[in-house]
Every structure is written in structure tokens, then in C-alpha cells.
């Protein structure tokens, strides 16, 4: 879905006030669900999730944590619901035979780095992760899913967006009331700068939670000084377009689509025609690229999450993965 503009405005906007009663009902149900007890997996579970609907940098954060674990000799496996895919799972993702329509776009990105399991049933997915030889589970999303006990849970927050108007869906972007989500969170990963994110960070610190600051960095060496038609179907497409400008690329036109958008042939043909008319090349995000036909001529801009203090975050992860295995 595409986030409505009023989500990023003051909470007294007419649309937000109109939808507030539905938000109270939705939030109460979501919070009660989060409080349910979960099953204990055979492996340590580290969750990276969003407080809100839409993108915050969760998948780059999951990839960064996986690299940290692998560099230290561990064998992490990603566990995902597989949003946008039709397979219920549990299934081990194989990019050579699975597409985004089957397992979702994010699992395809994750599977390039480490073993990845898609499963609507998270405990069953955790069992498959163990069967694949993993020694730790990185749960991509699932902060509001109570079915697995989380040894460590990070909320990933975009500095420029924060929590929007602070209201619960559909009146705002929160997946559950913020005060009810804090009890399930062990730390915050703040991605990028911005007053909205700093407000969330201050509340986290006031509650005694660590705040880990990070930035998204693009490898733009091959993109500078060239004309691009940029398109993206992610939570905040404008952030991708800004990244291109920051690295010296020249987006002569931009097109924003809803998050996880399934591109239709006519849309792709239109993008290709416009790029040709403008004398530009097509560029998109890595997440969008896996949803496109392999033969479609669009480049993906590679990005990585960089932590300001990796040692501080690793200390938390190390404590979490050191917990004894259940009997």
C-alpha cells in the first residue's frame, strides 16, 4: 500500500480524527496479540521489525546483522513471513527456482547472503532453520508476531519518518500503540537523521533502551554522471530518489509505486519508452529488481547499512546468542 499523506502530518488532521476510532480498535487487538505467550525455538531468535507500516531499513539491518554473525564464525538463517508471496511454507528459499510471487521480494534478497526460510507458521519455520544447520535465527519482521519467543528484538526506525503522526493504523502508521510496543523491544536501530526519528530515540533512551545509530550507504561508483529514470515500489520511494542525488547520479525523472508493487507489463513498457525518450537508463532498488523480469533492462542500486558503533550492537547480539539451548 502507499502511505497516505496525512500519516506524516499532525494527528489533528480531519482524516486522522475520522479514522481514530478504528485505530483504537485495531491497536487494542494488535497490542493484545503481541502480549500472547510464544514458543521457545531451539535456536536463539533475533528479531528486526518496524513499529510502523512501510519501510524503515529493516532488511538492510537484517543483512548487516547476518554479516556480523558470519564474520565471527556463526551460521545465521533468516526467517520471514514472505510478504507478497503465495507459499505458506515452511520452505527454504532458492533464488534459482523461486520468484517474488512465490516467496516475496525480501526473502529473495536475504537468500543471496544466507539460508532463508519462508513460513507463515514461525515456530515451524524456526525448526526448519535448525534443520538447515543454522545456529541463530534472524527474524526479518515479526515484531508484532508473538508466536516465537524473541531473545533480542530491535525496532528499526527511519530518522526522517519516525512514527508519523503517532496514531495507530488506519488513522496513522503505527502497527500497535507505541506504549504497548515498547515492552516487547530490547533496543532501537535509528536509520538516518531527522527530528521525527530523534523523538523516538529520546523516548527509547528514557525507557532505558539502547539506541544504535546507522546510515544507509550506496555503492554509487557506476551511477554518477549519468542520466537515470528512477522508479521504486518501496515504503519511502523519495528516500531512494534522494540517495541517487546524494551520490551524484542524475535522475531526470522519478516514478513512485506502492510498497511491494507487482509491476505489470504495460507499466514496464511505459518506463522503458520514457527512458528511451529522455536518453536515460532505468534504475531501481534491489528489492524492486527481484520483482522484475530478468531480461528487463533496469539496474539496481546496491546499498548497505553502516552502524556508527558496531561493537555496541554486537555486545547485545553476543549476549542473546549465548543463551543455553532449551532441554
What predicted TM-score, i.e. pTM, was given to this entire model? 0.91
pLDDT at 297: 92
Separation CA 33–CA 245 (nearest Å): 42
CATH class of 34-74+135-215+306-321: alpha beta
With cell 533480542, the residue in question is 152
Cis-peptide, bond into residue 170, ω within 30° of zero: yes
Check the annotation: does 254 bind a ligand: no
**Per-domain residue ranges of the chain:** 34-74+135-215+306-321, 220-301
What would the pLDDT profile of 133-145 be if each residue is shown by its tens digit?
A: 999 999 988 899 9
pLDDT at 327: 57
Check the annotation: does 57 bind a ligand: yes
pLDDT at 89: 84
For residue 208, count CB atoms less than 10 angstroms from its CB and return exposed for 0-12, middle for 13-18, buried for 19 or more.
exposed
324 CA to centre of own chain: 29
pLDDT at 265: 95
pLDDT at 1: 64
pLDDT at 97: 92
Check the annotation: does 68 bind a ligand: no
Spatial CB neighbours of 130, under 8 Å, sequence gap ≥ 6: 41, 42, 43
Q: What is the DSSP letter of 263?
A: -
Separation CA 174–CA 112 (nearest Å): 30
pLDDT at 324: 65
Check the annotation: does 54 bind a ligand: yes
Check the annotation: does 58 bind a ligand: yes
Q: Which helix (H) or strand (E) holds 136?
A: strand 136-140
Low-confidence ranges of the chain (pLDDT < 50): none
111 and 134 Cβ atoms separated by less than 8 Å? no
Separation CA 5–CA 56 (nearest Å): 17
Check the annotation: does 34 bind a ligand: no
Check the annotation: does 56 bind a ligand: yes
pLDDT at 203: 97
pLDDT at 325: 60
Check the annotation: does 55 bind a ligand: yes
Amino acid at each position: 500500500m502507499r502511505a497516505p499523506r496525512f500519516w506524516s502530518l499532525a494527528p489533528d488532521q480531519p482524516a486522522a480524527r475520522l479514522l481514530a476510532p478504528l485505530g483504537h480498535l485495531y491497536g487494542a487487538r494488535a497490542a493484545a496479540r503481541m502480549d500472547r505467550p510464544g514458543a521457545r525455538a531451539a535456536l536463539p531468535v533475533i528479531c528486526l521489525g518496524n513499529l510502523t507500516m512501510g519501510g524503515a531499513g529493516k532488511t538492510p539491518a537484517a543483512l548487516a546483522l547476518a554479516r556480523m554473525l558470519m564474520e565471527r564464525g556463526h551460521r545465521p538463517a533468516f526467517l520471514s513471513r514472505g510478504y507478497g508471496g503465495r507459499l505458506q511454507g515452511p520452505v527454504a528459499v532458492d533464488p534459482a527456482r523461486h520468484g517474488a510471487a512465490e516467496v516475496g521480494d525480501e526473502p529473495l534478497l536475504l537468500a543471496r547472503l544466507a539460508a532463508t526460510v519462508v513460513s507463515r507458521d514461525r515456530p515451524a519455520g524456526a525448526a526448519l532453520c535448525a534443520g538447515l544447520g543454522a545456529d541463530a535465527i534472524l527474524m526479518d519482521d515479526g515484531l508484532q508476531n508473538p508466536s516465537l519467543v524473541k531473545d533480542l528484538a530491535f525496532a528499526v526506525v527511519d530518522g526522517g519518518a519516525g512514527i508519523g503522526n503517532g496514531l495507530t493504523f488506519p488513522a496513522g502508521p503505527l502497527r500497535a500503540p507505541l506504549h504497548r510496543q515498547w515492552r516487547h523491544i530490547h533496543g532501537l536501530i535509528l536509520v538516518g537523521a531527522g527530528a521525527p526519528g530523534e523523538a523516538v530515540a529520546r523516548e527509547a533512551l528514557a525507557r532505558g533502551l539502547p539506541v544504535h545509530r546507522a546510515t544507509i550507504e550506496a555503492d554509487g561508483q557506476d551511477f554518477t554522471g549519468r542520466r537515470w529514470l528512477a522508479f521504486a515500489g518501496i515504503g519511502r520511494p523519495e528516500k531512494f530518489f534522494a540517495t541517487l542525488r546524494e551520490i551524484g547520479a542524475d535522475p531526470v525523472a522519478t516514478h513512485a509505486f506502492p510498497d511491494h508493487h507487482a509491476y505489470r507489463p504495460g507499466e514496464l513498457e511505459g518506463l522503458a519508452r520514457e527512458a528511451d525518450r529522455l536518453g536515460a537508463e532505468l534504475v531501481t532498488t534491489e528489492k524492486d529488481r527481484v520483482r522484475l523480469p530478468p531480461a528487463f533492462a533496469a539496474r539496481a542500486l546496491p546499498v548497505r547499512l553502516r552502524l556508527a558503533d558496531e561493537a555496541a550492537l554486537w555486545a547485545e547480539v553476543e549476549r542473546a546468542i549465548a543463551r543455553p539451548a532449551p532441554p
